[in-house]
Amino acid sequence: MYNLPGFEPRLVDKAYLENLGVTVEPSEETLKALESGSDVFRRRYAEGLLIPRQRYGLAELDPAAVTPEIHNYTGRCPALTWEINPVRGCTVGCQYCLVSDGVHEQELLAYENYHLYVRRLLDEQNGPGSPNERHYYYFSPKTEAFQEATLYTGIAHRILREFIDHFRRCPESRARLFIASKAGARHLECKDGGESILDLFARMKDRMQFNTSVSIMPDAFRDILEPYAAPLDERLAAVKLCREAGIPANSALVQPIITPWLTPEHTGSFFDALHGAGIINYKPEFLTACVENLAMLGQYLGWFDKDLERKLYDDYLMPSNEAHRKQRGRIAPDKEKSRGYLKSMMEYTGKLGMSVSICYWVRKQLGISEDIIPLINSNGFQCLGYQSKLFADV
């Protein structure tokens, strides 16, 4: 991003949008947010702060003092889901990050003894004498589960070993591990104590699922927006490794989807690749971003194709769409267009036998009925892509 020929951050204001050919007329509030975002982008670009520095600190926490976090943004998640977040920050550096809105200036801190908190949480929720209710444990919604800070320190391996030990001690446990990750094959092959991440997966393959996280956008654009993530083909190679080892890995988080790129040709090539890797279900999620961040993301896209940048702003910035917001005020594409994009994806993937799962927020915002996308679809997936068949009573 610092070496794109001819690229220079600009001020995205009313004149900029008019010269670009944007057809919608943003509100004054939206225009101010775009201008503010432009200023922040120019400062961070000049100071070299757009991507995280590839270093992190190590610390320990008090396992008894950590307050458990529930991953239930909508209040309608299919089962109580506990978050596992062993790192403060993330070295992957996604420019659209759902947690930080693409700001990666904080010091990264990895908790070496986080596995002791995981042990405590498992014992409290699914151990002897606990209610032992159906629980998912989501590793990791606020940071990449398999990044340098967790792999080279053994933190990720120790967390997985806690689950293995829990299932050994509590064979009737109704806990299930849900992993969403941008990891490639080489990440899953990283070893600690002679065991790879994949080896540890295989020891609890009937009690966990691995969901790859992939995006629909130009490949070169992905390299900018996900600077330290594995390339798409490496992520699909990780899926294949899991499936060959008998680990449930046939659902994908497809996010973010850059709507101007969602042509029939690009839709087909993307989902053909997922289908070839054995993916049978996907959870689509259009790019959501605060308006300030759209000023940066749009300019990056415009470096490749100004028409794609124009279409991006047209999809997001109309005044009638200002209320279409997700957590922390992140704006989503126009509702009518979103329904059209979703329909086009489903028409293509339906021919491949792929099912779709969506969260309650998307269902509510877009008016998606159970007739269109069932709460639990034909392949047993729901919401974020949880595989309900992992529980024997479903």
Q: Which residues contact 118 (CB under 8 A, 6 or more apart)?
A: 84, 137, 159, 162, 163
In whole angstroms, what separates CA 258 from the centre of its chain? 14
Q: Tell me the pLDDT of the chain averaged across its residues.
A: 93
In a domain, 85, yes or no: yes
Residue 394, pLDDT above cutoff 60: no
Residue type for 84, please? I
Count: domains in the chain:
1
* Chain position carrying tokens 């490794």: 241
In a domain, 337, yes or no: yes
Distance between CA atoms of residues 100 and 162, nearest Å: 29
Q: Indicate the range of 87-91, 123-127, 280-284, 341-345 predicted with least confidence.
A: 87-91
The percent of residues in the chain predicted with pLDDT above 70, rounded, is 96
Residue type for 239, please? V
Q: Determine the pLDDT at residue 94.
A: 87
* Paired tokens of 101: 């809105």
- Which helix (H) or strand (E) element contains residue 177? strand 175-181
In a domain, 27, yes or no: no
Q: How confident is the model over 173-183, as a mean pLDDT?
A: 97
User: Structural domain of residue 152, as residue ranges?
Assistant: 51-287+333-390
In a domain, 320, yes or no: no
* Paired tokens of 55: 């270093």
Residue 115, pLDDT above cutoff 70: yes
In a domain, 7, yes or no: no
In a domain, 309, yes or no: no
Distance between CA atoms of residues 229 and 223, nearest Å: 8
Distance between CA atoms of residues 384 and 253, nearest Å: 8
* Residue 82 CB-half CA count within 13 A: 22
For the CA atoms of 5, 7, 8, 10, the dihedral, rounded to the nearest 10 degrees, stands at: 160
* Paired tokens of 342: 């979703």
* Chain position carrying tokens 């933190």: 155
Q: How confident is the model over 4-24, as a mean pLDDT?
A: 96
pLDDT 10s digits, 20-74: 999 999 999 999 999 999 999 999 999 988 887 778 899 999 999 999 999 876 6
* Chain position carrying tokens 């992992």: 390
CATH number at residue 207: 3.20.20.70
Closest to 304 measured CA to CA, from 253, 261, 269, 335: 261
In a domain, 158, yes or no: yes
Distance between CA atoms of residues 218 and 222, nearest Å: 6
Residue type for 153, please? T
Record the pTM: 0.94
Distance between CA atoms of residues 8 and 251, nearest Å: 39
Taken in order 211, 213, 214, 215, the sign of the CA dihedral is positive
What Å distances lie between residue 150 and 52, 85, 92, 164, 183, CA to CA? Answer: 16, 10, 12, 18, 12
* Residue 183 DSSP SS3: coil
Q: Determine the pLDDT at residue 78.
A: 66
In a domain, 252, yes or no: yes
For the CA atoms of 269, 275, 281, 286, the dihedral, rounded to the nearest 10 degrees, stands at: -20
